[in-house]
Structure 1
Amino acid sequence: MFDTLTLKTDARGVATLTLNRPDKHNAMSAQMLEDLTQAAVTLGADDTVRVVVLTGAGPSFCAGGDLGWMRAQMSMDAQTRTAEARKLATMLDALNTLPKPLIGALQGNAFGGGVGLACVCDVAIAAGSARFGLTETRLGLIPATIGPYVIARMGEGRARRVFMSGRIFDAAEAVDLGILARAVPAAELEEAVDREVKPYLSCAPGAVAAAKKLARDLGPRIDAALIDHTIAALAERWDGAEAVEGIDAFFAKRKPAWTV
């Protein structure tokens, strides 16, 4: 059904959506962005689905945006860059507004956009060995389209501890920052996620969807104007010299010019 994802639904109505580019550490390509958006639409419209679990195949949950995809934006015109940035923003909005509980099961590391995926989940649980980081500024980029969801989850004060530094932090700090509900030993992750899922199976699905929508309505504003602002901010960074240098340095396996 999808090129970059697998989707399985059990007899209880629990759908497991798995990022499936393990050889690329589940970095999000243009195709994965489109697949995730379509999966969110499909799952949202499926009355047999009660809960969605988002996880990844292989050792990493999600390494963020595919740098090959990002590098390609450097040679595009402004209109194309904006359209590509919108794919990422559209995917995040689709998952954030999914009218089903979305439980993140982070079996491995989450960087950049991977942290954004954790923050659009209603609850995220990770293996205690997982590492995290908003690493965009290391590449001359910024956590733009994920920003509203990161700030909504963490609050501005806590987010500013890691939003700009690109610092890598452990699962315990991710819990303290509010990205994760909790971290558990890797061998206990499946059981912990199942415990999170089970209460929803005793709830009225329509009431769950309405309660989730109300929570979003009462929470920080993430509307079309704000999403457009983040799209423009990302497209602008793609057009800058720092992004060119940062991504070129990554592929050349060298330090970027600003590193001391």
Structure 2
Amino acid sequence: MTLPTTETLNLNLDGPVLHITLNRPESRNAMSLTMVNELMAVFESVKDDTSIRALVLRGAGGHFCAGGDIKDMAGARQKAAAGDSDAYVSLNRRFGEMITAANQQPQVIITVLEGAVLGGGFGLACISDVAIAHADATFGLPETGLGVIPAQIAPFVVERIGLTQARRLALTGIRFQGNDALRLGIVHEVASDESELQTALENTLKAVRRCAPNANRVTKALVLKVGQEPMDTLLDQAAVDFANAVNGEEGQEGTMAFVQKRPASWNQ
């Protein structure tokens, strides 16, 4: 597996964990089209690599992501003025393709949220399997206050926290911090300082390592299908997947490790 070359992301492979750092600190890691394309390339390059079990997304310079890049909007405006009627559609939809890919990524997605977690950054938080936030992180959907809409983000916010709360956040643009994000169900854990944040991340990664890699992949695919397929169809396939897991290498190793009171082979 070869990771793509990136300009806006720092990539660090640490055993079974790929750390992806959004690296445009001068703009609070605003998400440019280049960053969107690079994230998609990274997701694609590792999705079939079973040796990589978790992807950790965080931002450089004390911020996660302040939303979309205004320069890209200006570029789309120029294209539209030159006759490209789909310029805005293409730009916006590309972000939606990226966040959909992130949502469906078979590895565990962990977001470490500091500083600005706005717009597109908020969207990434809402598709993560585990979200850990600094208490002082600032969350919000500022789009409507700018005269635009959270077009590709709103559906994922609804899935994350429900329609009632999503309506309030999207239609008021209010900003709030880590503990409110925890109460709303956007994040799973809040840390009071950098040391606590790092400890929470390390504990999460230890927990992921205790889970069998393929079992995690199949389980994530299962839970993402809830509400998308008839329940009986979903449960029929889940039973087949369960039988395959029990009879597979992971199931046999997990059972043997339990009986022998030792860590499973994947717990490293």
Report the TM-score, using the length of structure 2 for normalisation.
Answer: 0.79
Q: Is the 8 A contact 1:7 1:17 kept in 2?
A: yes
Distance 2:149 2:86 in 1: 19
Distance 2:134 2:198 in 1: 10
Question: In the alignment, which of 21, 24, 34 is matched to residue 18 of structure 1?
Answer: 21
Runs of 4+ in 1 over 4 A off after TM superposition: none
Distance 1:143 1:178 in 2: 19
Match in the other structure for 1:7: 11
Q: Please tell me the residue identity of whatever aligns with 1:204.
A: A
Question: In the alignment, which of 41, 52, 55 is matched to residue 55 of structure 2?
Answer: 52
Which residues of 2 match residues 1-260 of structure 1 at below 5 A?
1-11=5-15, 13-75=16-78, 76=80, 77-187=84-194, 188-219=196-227
Specify the SS of the correspondent of 2:136: coil
Relative contact order, higher structure (CA 8 A, sep 6+): 1
What's the Cα RMSD here?
Answer: 1.4
Q: Please state how far the C-alpha of 1:90 moved relative to its aligned partner.
A: 0.9
Distance change >3 Å, CA 104–CA 202, structure 1 → 2: same
Greater Rg by CA: 2
Specify the SS of the correspondent of 1:129: coil
Distance 1:206 1:54 in 2: 21
Q: Is the 8 A contact 2:77 2:87 kept in 1?
A: no
Match in the other structure for 1:242: none
Q: Please state how far the C-alpha of 1:124 moved relative to its aligned partner.
A: 0.6
Distance 1:113 1:4 in 2: 15
Specify the SS of the correspondent of 2:168: coil
Q: Is the 8 A contact 1:95 1:120 kept in 2?
A: yes
Q: Which moved more, 1:116-125 or 1:182-191?
A: 182-191
Q: Is the 8 A contact 1:108 1:126 kept in 2?
A: no
Q: Please tell me the residue identity of whatever aligns with 1:137.
A: T
Q: Is the 8 A contact 1:26 1:57 kept in 2?
A: yes
Distance 2:126 2:47 in 1: 18
**Unmatched segments (≥5 aa) in structure 1:** 222-260
Q: Is the 8 A contact 1:61 1:109 kept in 2?
A: yes
Residue identity over aligned pairs, in percent, reads: 40
Distance 2:163 2:21 in 1: 30
Q: Is the 8 A contact 2:154 2:166 kept in 1?
A: no
Match in the other structure for 1:230: none
Distance 1:127 1:78 in 2: 41
Report the TM-score, using the length of structure 1 for normalisation.
Answer: 0.81
Alignment length (residue pairs): 220
Q: Is the 8 A contact 2:50 2:214 kept in 1?
A: no
Distance 1:203 1:153 in 2: 23
Specify the SS of the correspondent of 1:160: helix
Q: Please state how far the C-alpha of 1:74 moved relative to its aligned partner.
A: 2.6
**Unmatched segments (≥5 aa) in structure 2:** 230-268
Q: Is the 8 A contact 1:28 1:66 kept in 2?
A: yes
Q: Is the 8 A contact 1:28 1:65 kept in 2?
A: yes
Q: Please state how far the C-alpha of 1:219 moved relative to its aligned partner.
A: 4.4
Q: Which moved more, 1:75-84 or 1:2-11?
A: 75-84
Q: Please tell me the residue identity of whatever aligns with 2:219.
A: A
Distance 2:148 2:193 in 1: 31
